Structure 1
Amino acid sequence: MNVFLWILQGLLAAAFLAGGTLKATQPKEKLVANFSWVDDFSPAMVKFVGITQVAGALGLVLPALTGIAVILTPLAAVGLALTMVLAGIYHFRKGEYSSLPVNAVLFVLAAIIAWGRFGPYAF
């Protein structure tokens, strides 16, 4: 199960690192083509979302790899799960139902990591 959790951590970290890096580094106008929700937020908020996603991705992997503050790994998973809950609520309220499965899958992956790393497969 530990290997399975590591694989999930790597996949989830890669997904959030890629998406977060785009949001943190690209101008808002360029992001509109891929992320319609950015029109509803300020450029600073879009950058903030990107930075938090990058931080969460790093938090999924780095503490466990280094053995320093390993409690941050499940906390990062909880934070990313909460991010997906909020994203799901936003997309539901906007009627963007096609985005909900992606939010749900990312939420489930983050929740499994949080459960495993807080519980029976902690570091």
Structure 2
Amino acid sequence: MNLALWIVTGILAAVLLVSTSKMYVPREKIAAVGHAGEWVMDFSPGALRAIGFLEILAAAGLILPAALDIVPVLVPVTAVCVALLFAGAVVMRLRRGERGTITADLIYLALAVFVAWGRFGPASFTG
């Protein structure tokens, strides 16, 4: 169970780090990629930077507390925050009518819930 949770946590952290590209790539270029990227035009560049910064913090919060054994309870707390982030992404996609591109967000949401459940419960760092 612990190995599965580490693998899923690593995948989530990698997804979050890749997703921070919106901080550096112009909105117009992301939107031009296709229908899945058009959502960035609904947000200001400052809002995209803020989202990207939160994603960097989330990636660090998923890995570093446990790896450094400094307040490891932050891992499941961060996983809950990541789940909320992806729940917001799902809501945003539903509001935009992008039902075809919602699958990845739902998968990441499920992975974050799995990490939160696992680290709060059976594979807790504190127990």
| 1:87 equivalenced with 2:89 (yes/no) | yes
- The secondary structure found in structure 1 opposite 2:89 is helix
Post-superposition Cα deviations, 1:60-102, rounded to whole Å, max 9, x if no partner, equal 1011100001111111111110011111011001101112111
**In the alignment, which residue of structure 1 is the partner of 2:28?**
29
Asked if 1:16 corresponds to 2:16, the answer is yes
Structure 2 counterpart of 1:118, from 102, 107, 120: 120
Of 94, 105, 109, 2:107 maps to 105
**Whole-Å Cα distance in 2 between the matches of residues 53 and 47 of structure 1?**
10
TM-score (norm 1): 0.94
Consecutive unaligned residues of structure 1, counting only runs of 5 or more, are none
**C-alpha deviation, 1:54, in angstroms:** 1.3
Q: Identity across aligned pairs (percent)?
A: 40
- Letter of the structure 2 residue corresponding to residue 5 of structure 1: L
Residue 63 of structure 2 is aligned to residue 64 of structure 1: no
Aligned amino acid, residue 24 of structure 2:
T
Cα RMSD for the two superposed structures: 1.1
Residue 2 of structure 1: aligned partner = 2
- Which amino acid counterpart does residue 18 of structure 1 have in structure 2? V
Equivalent pairs counted in the alignment come to: 122
